[in-house]
Structures are given as C-alpha cells and as structure tokens.
Amino acid sequence: MVAASGCASDTPSAQSTTSALPKPPITVGFLNPSGGPVPQPGTDTGVKAALSYLNGEFGGVNGHPIEVVWCDTDTTPERAQSCANTFVEKKVVAVMDGYNLSSSAALPALTAAQIPLVGMIPFDSVTGAKAENRVFFAAPQASFLIGALQAFKAEGKNSVTLALVDTPSSHQTIDGLLPVLAKALGISAKGIYFSATSPNFTAVASTIAQDNPDVGGLVAAPSEAVCTSLVKALRQLQYKGEIFTAACTDYIKGAPTQAAGGALYSSNWLPTAARYAPAEVQRDLTLAQKYISAVSGGTAGYYAFGEFALFVNFAKAMSAATDADLTGAGVLKTLKALKDFPSFLGPNITCGSATSPNCTTQLLLFVVQPDGSTKPVTDTWITPIPQALGAIPGAV
C-alpha cells in the first residue's frame, strides 16, 4: 500500500492509494533525480518498493503510513530550490535526498522551515560539508575515495586514473578532494572528466589506458550504461589494470568473465554479494529484492536498494519516537540521537556529529568473481584512515 502525492508540474511517480493503517500519515518530501543530464535511475523504484513494504507488512511508523510528496529534479540549483519551496508549502516533516547533485540549493528554505534533509550519501559535496539540519545514514563521498584508494595501496597498486561526469560538484571532488587524498595516502591519482550530454567513452578509455595505471575506472557513475560503455572500451583497448566501476553491477550480468577481477564499492550490501553476507543481511536482501522486483517497470540496482534502505532506516528510527516527535524538529532530534543503530543492509551507525551529517564512514569494497558474484575484499567493513578524512570538511 503506497501513500503518495505529486508536486505540481512533476511527473507522477506513483498512484495515490488509501492506506489501511489507523493513524494520520507522516508526509515527507522526495528529491527525485529523474531528470536532467545526470539522472539516478532506480531511486524512484526504491521509494515505491519501500513504501509498499513500510505501509503494508511493516505497519507504518507506529501505525502512521508514510506519504510522499514527489518532486523531480534536473541537477540544477533552481529546480532544487523550487522543490524545497513546494515541500515547505506541503508542511512535510523531512525531505529524502535521492543522491542529488544540487541538494544544497534546497537547504536554505528547508532549514528556515525546520525541515531536515535525510539521505544516504550526499552526492552534493556542499551538502556533505556541514552537519546543520541534515542527516545522511551512509558514508560521505570522501570515505569511498579514501577507502578504495587505501585498499588499492594495500594491494601494491600505486597509480589510479578515475573519471567522473563533468558537473560543478564533480570538480569539487576531482579538483579538490582527489589531490588531497592522494597526497595523504601516498598514491598517484589522476582525475578526468566526461561530458554529461555527449560522453565519448572510447576517448575516456584511451586517456586511462595511455597512462597504464594500476587501477582505472570511475569515481562514481551516473548510470549503469556508463559503466558498461567504459568497461567495454577499456577491454577493447586491452587495458590490463584493475577496472574500478564505482557502485555499478549491471554490467557484470552481460559478461561476468570479462568483468572478473574488477572492483566496486558500496555503502551497503548488494544482491550480487548475498552468498558472502551474514545471515541477517541475506534476509534483508531477500526482503528488499522481493519488493523492488514487484515495482512495475522499475529499475533495480544500487540506487534502488540504497533508497529502499534510506526509507527503512527512517521508518525504523522514527518508530522509536513518540507522536509528538513527528515534526521536522522532532525528526532531526531523533535521527541525530541514533547510537549503534543497526542500519538496513549497512553497518551499525551513530549519528549526531557536530561536524559531519554522515552517521558512518564505513564502506565495503568488492571484487567481481568469474561467476558474476561480488566478494568483499575484507571480512569487516572498511574504515577509512581518520587522518585522511580529517582533511575533508564534513567527513568526520
């Protein structure tokens, strides 16, 4: 049972239904990154699946169904600001971030209205730089770069060339974060860009291959198609280094043998790694997959599972609160107070840092196996080096 409502001028992402739950709904906003040059396909699938589970089998938040005000974004600050104004008008108690590249533009209006921004990974590094009025359940961007780079360094791989789509926030990562991290870890790291509207992955692959780094690939991927295109181009050039594909997994299905040996990271356990996961994680993966698969026309993948986890974490955390806390200020207070909280598909998290909106710095790094599964490179969650994180605002 999905309770949903749409923003004016937005494409409806779900149909409104009448919930059988006994109490009034909790209304949250959703910054849905479905448009523009760098969409994140699958986030809306994860939300629909999560609402179906939470407003049905889970029983809502103490009997309150979750209702969503959807607002489509296009990576521009103007659109994020417009969505924020809509959310304030609708009196939502929180806004869920769908891995948006311009979420920081929504913060002034939301903060003034005491509506917290809640997400997994802040893709907008400006959003991730401060803790005020926001909570992100997964690790910051810097953690993924540091965790991956330190793992590569531990394997004796000392040179890395990574590509990222050309957006303003990408320059903050490539021009600002990458050099600092490379110096702190003692590794040679080069960043390159590709066009958001007309990418040439043959050219990107050629730039990577000509340097012959130990590791080549992506810092982050706007879509599974990007990963598939780059991997194919690198293989055609007979690049022999380790191919790093950020959080992509779909490309593995088409050619698992070619994908074998590649690396990817994640803020949570993935279906492809289920056989290596603890028993309780396997149960949660089965649950998420059941509801995600039931979404008609939906896109499964990293973003779908991440957004499913976001809503489940939110619902479980707020289920420990009273009805009086179902306000913007109450939501922020409740989430900031989480300690050693068992996050869905993720590590135990503790929120409320004075300097970081993120509740953890931990991540998983996987290596693709010949059968297409993804095996963690460590027995436990990877914790990036605190000294390196300390150089990045909002990382710790």
Q: How do residues 281-298 score in pLDDT, each as one tens digit?
A: 999 999 999 999 999 988
Q: Assess whether pLDDT exceeds 90 at residue 347.
A: yes
State the distance between the two ends of the chain, measured CA to CA, in whole angstroms: 38
Q: DSSP states of 367-390 as a string?
A: EE-TTS-EEESSSS-B---HHHHT
Claim to verify: residue 280 and residue 344 sit in the same structural domain: yes
Best CA proximity match to 129, nearest among 137, 120, 138, 141 = 141
Claim to verify: residue 157 and residue 306 sit in the same structural domain: no
CATH number at residue 67: 3.40.50.2300
The sign one gets for the Cα dihedral 30, 297, 295, 264 is: negative
Residue 357 resides in a domain: no
Claim to verify: residue 299 and residue 343 sit in the same structural domain: yes
Claim to verify: residue 335 and residue 282 sit in the same structural domain: yes
Tally of structural domains, the chain:
2
Which pLDDT band, with edges at 50, 70 and 90, does 257 fall under? Answer: confident
Residue 248 resides in a domain: yes
Q: Which amino acid is residue 97, in one-letter code?
A: D
Q: Which amino acid is residue 87, in one-letter code?
A: F
Claim to verify: residue 161 and residue 249 sit in the same structural domain: yes
> So what's the pLDDT on residue 8?
43
By residue range, what is the domain housing residue 192? 141-266+362-389
Residue 385 resides in a domain: yes
Claim to verify: residue 320 and residue 338 sit in the same structural domain: yes
Claim to verify: residue 338 and residue 247 sit in the same structural domain: no
* 45 Cα distance to chain centroid: 14
Q: Assess whether pLDDT exceeds 60 at residue 301.
A: yes
Q: Assess whether pLDDT exceeds 80 at residue 12.
A: no
Residues 6+ positions from 66 with CB-CB distance below 8 Å: 3, 25, 26, 28, 51, 54, 55, 60, 311, 315
Claim to verify: residue 22 and residue 133 sit in the same structural domain: yes
Question: Residue range 352-363: average pLDDT?
Answer: 96
What are the start-end ranges of the H helices in the chain?
A: 43-54, 77-90, 107-112, 141-154, 168-171, 178-185, 201-211, 224-236, 250-254, 256-259, 279-293, 302-318, 328-336, 386-389
Q: What is the pTM of this model?
A: 0.89
What are the structure tokens assigned to 229, written together?
């295109």
Question: Residue range 217-245: average pLDDT?
Answer: 89
Residue 246 resides in a domain: yes
Distance, in Å, from the CA atom of 135 to the CA atom of 353, rounded to the nearest integer, reads 10
Q: Assess whether pLDDT exceeds 50 at residue 16.
A: no
Distance, in Å, from the CA atom of 152 to the CA atom of 185, rounded to the nearest integer, reads 10
Question: Residue range 145-158: average pLDDT?
Answer: 90
Percent residues over pLDDT 70 in the chain: 95
> So what's the pLDDT on residue 19?
63
Which pLDDT band, with edges at 50, 70 and 90, does 351 fall under? Answer: very high
Question: Residue range 215-239: average pLDDT?
Answer: 89
Residue 65 resides in a domain: yes
Residue 395 resides in a domain: no
Claim to verify: residue 199 and residue 90 sit in the same structural domain: no
Other beta carbons within 10 angstroms of residue 183's beta carbon come to 12
Which phi and psi (to 5°) does residue 28 adopt? -125, 155
Residue 355 resides in a domain: no
> So what's the pLDDT on residue 205?
96
Residues 6+ positions from 155 with CB-CB distance below 8 Å: none
Question: Residue range 323-336: average pLDDT?
Answer: 97
Residue 396 resides in a domain: no
Question: Residue range 211-231: average pLDDT?
Answer: 88
Claim to verify: residue 291 and residue 251 sit in the same structural domain: no
Claim to verify: residue 370 and residue 236 sit in the same structural domain: yes
CA distances from 168 to 35, 64, 89, 175, 193 (A): 17, 39, 29, 10, 11
Query: 25 by DSSP, 3-state: which?
Result: coil
Percent residues over pLDDT 90 in the chain: 69
CA distances from 148 to 23, 160, 362 (A): 45, 10, 11
Convert the pLDDT of each residue in 309-322 to its tens digit: 999 999 999 999 99
Q: How big is the CA angle at 93 (ends 315 and 361), to the nearest 5 degrees?
A: 55
Claim to verify: residue 283 and residue 333 sit in the same structural domain: yes
Question: b/e per residue, 375-388, with b = 16+ CB within 10 A?
Answer: ebbeeebbbbeeeb
